[in-house]
A and B are shown apart, each in its own frame.
Chain A
């Protein structure tokens, strides 16, 4: 049973419901300018409180922190239980960060129904917060589903694409379908608990205390897997992603590409609750195959995309492949790396979607073939594109390297052949990003680029700077971030390999090779 640390103020409840409250307040407002200013205030305050929470977070421990627990539906063992640990804490900060930037982004780019737009955005923030701070499985599930509502409307009402209705419906139905399986999985977990303790519980910390036989673990694993894999999305369940991210508005793309709910679920629930299933040979082989396929497939498909946002979608699929193989390396570096990478994608891939939005605002299309020589007209955009792009392809000194390096190191130690295959991903990544950069940012200025376009305005500049600061901070001095996650990563590793000292966890490839010889 994990230790729990209390905090004098229900800070997680505040973080979750303050944006809801904010959305209600916005509803009552009439003046457009007042609305966006209030939203900026709400998002800023949320960011401040989230930063406070990060600052008071005790690093290097697996303890659940800022815990709050109240009964909700006692006869089913469902409680209102909030807490964060090293697995989830950074996501809370990332969520607040991205929403704040999106408010800046939307400032004068959303003209249609701004009030409703901001309400959806705040609804999104609240539900995502709920997902990351929930320790109770049902509470988690409620937020998981609620998140679809603002997403649906964001895609359907503010998407620039012709097929936004279709995309919105596809996204919602696809993920709903997955969640049904996940819910069944959760219920099975609770039933198993009932068998052992004669009471129901959906509380993660309770459920961790009971053993589950392997066959059941496998069943639950695959049920939960469907929910997570559809949401993540893990190759080959990704076919809603291109539609949602290309047809939907930029803020939706930023959130979906930047915050990796699906893969978070593996670390939050699957690994700790189902350790035997998670390292079952078949499971690992399947997940590794899917992950490696995603890395290579996503990157190769990204190379030839003529649509910038579609290119980013496949880049995102490729990156998610890295996250998956990192997790299923099942060792410290792999899991640590995939956790850091999930956070990184919130700055790099999401950042590139911001930039795609900046370009779209000026040119009105995403067609790379009609971009050319943008550096001439927009040197600031070119600079941010370079910084964020380099983070995306994992250049040392940026955050991307820290995550990818740890993942590859972890995978290589676990299965060197998988590691060697995954490494090819960095070559393809360089190919698709740099070819894009060559064709759009470099090159002569073409007629297809209007002469009147201007470089980034101050709000766009602020977004670029904020993302760059995070990219370099994590890249150059990742210590605070690593310290925050390390305790919980160790806990997950210990649950996967109980009774194994850290040093012996990964048998060195070489010594096995030598003995075989």
Chain B
């Protein structure tokens, strides 16, 4: 029963992919939409069943579907591991996924590629479920690249737009760099352990040398950096906003991009043995959190601000892993899924209301025109900014407190500055979108309407989760959430750091002060003195344009990598045509010349002698012409016979003479 339930989780969306993909054009869009979100809903119900079962008995369980790749000393099953960690991921993926699917039915209504959209979305669900459920690295890798493919297809959903196609290619290729690192990690693991099953690997992980653990961890980290858009491989994520907004919410905020965090936590036993790698994880996370937040300060596209915010928040999760706060990382992953999905979907609702406008310079004053959207967006903003008691406060505060208490002051500083900036840019976004005077294009203004309830109901549910989801992890480090994940996410050899309540409350107060400070500054700059931002920008134009252009990182990569390999390609192509091929042709020419010389000799020396028998020659040529009928099969027959004779002769001559040779010896 349990096994069946587990197998059904990915099977429902897979079935929907097949039906919608193969037959989708035969029935209405409504039907396709229902099938799509219905299948995810059924998956969610199965996950709930599995969750209840795991609540009763938290021992990890494996479910083997079939033997997938085998031979020699390798054996890889298509099999699933159900433990508290994968159950939490499953709940987030199917739960938030279901809400986004429902929302999409309204958002994508009337689109030409409606069925195609839902086929890709369901395929994404299948891949993501394999990713979090797999019991070994290769099943994880199926999901890992599968979500990458779906991300590619959905970013390129509006494929007629050149920018969408470019963004899609970029996302896939940059992800593949990470995937290559991940593959190397898999090979290292197999070389050392002779198996790729998590359970067996984790059981034997203590046999790793520090060097080996570091090598494996760093390779895994490269994979995680690619998928979770961390420095230096983050550049694809902001461009990924070319996809429809529900895609940004599902793939590029709530689920796929968090896969890197999941993977690090899943392998924390290996990371724990490699302090150097763990420190790298923390640095990458902390620097990314701050770096992306600075870019978010000045962006003018509502989705791009949220995209940089996602990169930054993922940085917090990596930072959490780096300081050994694995539970906090997964906690933040979950709350982030709630509030970031909420923010993206409500941004989608704004875009929907404005007929596709994404530039916040052409928004403003929307709070009374689309009140539901405004309220849920505000809840999302409060949650991400870290205003208590919303979800984001608890998870972010826990990460920062953990960093501080365990003496990672440099990371704490990065996180604290990042938190201030986060609060600032999110409230900037809120003020520019919903307050002040309307800057909306007059043609658009009279069309503004609140979204239909199929979109607003998921928003309200997500708002509820963003409001109250944080209480699962209260009190910090001792909440229900921590107890549930205790066995799977506690670092090796973690000594109990009992921290006084005074310290915790102090850190909380600091966090609250930071969040309020960011809010206050945004309020001052965008609500009280709206011209101030422009003045600042005008005062230091160079700094402003540098940040506006995202520190020119895209341009640098383009120049150093893309253009470089194109040049190399041109050079090698030239080499292939001009050097390699010429060389071969040269040899051919040489043969030609000698052949010509022989022909000449034949014609002028030998045939001259044979001219005497000219007439018989004439006869011969007549029969020769007969054979040269121009029919292919005649040629074929002649060549077959000729070749057979030739081979016979060669053999008899060659083998015969060598045999003679040998007998002499």
Contact = CB atoms under 8 A, between A and B. Distances in A.
A405 B138 CA distance: 9
Contacts, number: 225
Contacts of B572: 297, 300-301
B149 interface: yes
A305 interface: yes
Contact of A413 (B166, B172, B187, B662): B187
A409 B189 CA distance: 11
Given A191-B662, A373-B160, 19 more contacts: A116-B632, A150-B636, A184-B654, A191-B659, A239-B576, A239-B580, A300-B568, A300-B572, A303-B566, A401-B145, A412-B188, A413-B190, A416-B188, A426-B180, A430-B173, A434-B173, A444-B161, A482-B69, A517-B211
Nearest to B190: A409
Contacts of B186: 409
A402 B640 CA distance: 40
B505 to A, nearest CB: 47
B113 to A, nearest CB: 9
A443 B66 contact: no
**Range of interface residues on A (Cβ < 8 Å):** 35 or more
Contact of B69 (A402, A505, A514): A402
B209 interface: yes
B588 interface: yes
A513 B191 CA distance: 11
Contacts of A373: 159-160
B590 to A, nearest CB: 12
Contact of A76 (B211, B576, B651): B651
B581 A141 contact: no
B180 A423 contact: yes
Contact of B584 (A239, A332, A430, A437): A239
B58 to A, nearest CB: 30
B160 A304 contact: no
Contacts of A238: 580
A236 B572 CA distance: 12
- Tell me which of B156, B631, B633, B650 has the highest count of chain A C-beta atoms within 10 A of its own C-beta: B633
A444 B162 contact: yes
Interface stretch (B27-35, B71-79, B94-102): B71-79
A304 B569 contact: yes
Contacts of A42: none
B209 A514 contact: yes
B72 A502 contact: yes
A375 B70 CA distance: 38
B172 A430 contact: yes
A434 B152 CA distance: 10
A417 B140 CA distance: 24
A209 interface: no
Given A145-B647, A397-B146, A300 B565 contact: yes
A157 B632 contact: yes
A238 B658 CA distance: 33
Interface string A190-223: 1100110000100000000000000000000000
A142 B176 CA distance: 45
A353 interface: no
Interface in B185-237: 186-188, 190-192, 194, 209, 211-212
Given A300-B568, A304-B570, A119 B632 contact: yes
Interface in A297-317: 297, 300-305
B73 A119 contact: no
A485 B644 CA distance: 33
A297 B569 CA distance: 8
Contact of B192 (A27, A301, A508): A508
Nearest to B584: A239
Interface in B88-146: 138, 141-142, 144-146
B156 A187 contact: no
Contact of A195 (B74, B209, B573, B662): B662
Interface string B543-587: 000000000000000000000011011101100100011011000
A402 B68 CA distance: 9
Contact of B71 (A119, A145, A486): A486
Contacts of B83: none
Contacts of B165: 438-439, 442-443
The 9 closest A-B pairs by CB, nearest first: A332-B72, A442-B165, A304-B569, A412-B187, A396-B142, A442-B159, A438-B165, A510-B192, A430-B176
A441 B177 CA distance: 24
Contact of B194 (A76, A187, A508): A508
Contact of B187 (A149, A416, A428): A416
Contacts of B74: 332-333, 406, 409
Contacts of B5: none
A408 B72 contact: no
B149 A482 contact: no
A441 B159 contact: yes
B643 interface: yes
Contacts of A200: 655, 659
Nearest to B658: A191
Contacts of B149: 390, 395
Contact of B639 (A141, A149, A331): A149
Given A405-B138, A423-B183, A493-B72, A435 B169 contact: yes
Interface in A172-192: 173-174, 183-184, 187, 190-191
Contacts of A406: 69, 71, 74
A116 B70 CA distance: 45
Contact of B211 (A190, A396, A479, A513): A513
Nearest to A77: B655
Contact of B73 (A297, A332, A412): A332
B184 interface: yes
Contact of A513 (B212, B576, B588, B632): B212
A336 interface: yes
A123 interface: yes
Nearest to B208: A510
A489 B640 CA distance: 35
11 contacts: A149-B640, A157-B632, A240-B584, A300-B569, A332-B74, A390-B149, A431-B176, A442-B160, A502-B72, A505-B73, A510-B192
A477 interface: yes
